[in-house]
Amino acid sequence: MKKEIITENAPKAIGPYSQGVRTSGGFIFASGQIPLDPQTGELVAGGIAEQTERVLENLKAVLEAAECSLEDVVKTTVYLKDIEDFAAMNTVYAKYFKVCPPARVCVEVARLPKDALIEIDCVASEGQNYSY
């Protein structure tokens, strides 16, 4: 069973997909976010740092709509238009994932929607209490 996650605080889906989906197993799957301003639908001005921040704020909004947070993220995939932006992206990314950063994949791609420099998707696990 699954339930769609919808929020006005992140860009609307521009195709036949959901901003996010919650499963009965307690996982949240957030669709890839590019650096669109949720109010204007336009790419944010600036370079990779500004775009990374906007993408992570968009993901944060989707997770908050699912009553989760970035602390619940267990996996991300980062798509970069230019792998040379890796270090600058990492600097911003590290500010959002300070404690137990999620597992991650980062790849360079030929092109992203609206010629964005970055896209990130994620998987979160609803507020589980783990003991090891």
Q: What is the pLDDT of the chain when averaged over all its residues?
A: 94
Cα 61 to the chain's mean position, in Å? 9
Return the higher-pLDDT residue of 126 and 121. 121
Residue 132 within any structural domain of the chain: no
- Roughly what angle, to the nearest 10 degrees, separates helices 86-96 and 48-65? 30
* Contact indicator for 95, 124 with CB cutoff of 8 Å: no
The two tokens of residue 21 are 């989906």
What does the longest C-alpha to C-alpha distance in the chain come to?
45
- The count of other CB atoms within 10 Å of the CB of residue 130 is 6
Which CATH number characterizes residue 118's domain?
Answer: 3.30.1330.40
* Contact indicator for 60, 93 with CB cutoff of 8 Å: no
pLDDT tier, 14 (very low <50, low <70, confident <90, very high otherwise): confident
Residue 130 within any structural domain of the chain: no
Catalytic residues: 106
- Tens-digit pLDDT profile for residues 28-77: 999 999 999 999 999 999 999 999 999 999 999 999 999 999 999 999 99
Q: What is the mean pLDDT of residues 106-125?
A: 97
Q: Is the pLDDT of residue 129 over 70?
A: no
- The count of other CB atoms within 10 Å of the CB of residue 65 is 19
Quote the pLDDT of residue 76.
98
pLDDT tier, 97 (very low <50, low <70, confident <90, very high otherwise): very high
Residue 107 within any structural domain of the chain: yes
Residue 28 within any structural domain of the chain: yes
Residue 117 CA to residue 19 CA, distance in Å, equals 20
**pTM for this predicted structure:** 0.94
Domain ranges, residue 101: 2-125
Q: Classify burial at 9, counting beta carbons within 10 Å of its beta carbon; exposed 0-12, middle 13-18, buried 19 or more.
A: middle
* Contact indicator for 35, 43 with CB cutoff of 8 Å: yes
pLDDT tier, 132 (very low <50, low <70, confident <90, very high otherwise): very low
Quote the pLDDT of residue 127.
67
Residue 17 within any structural domain of the chain: yes
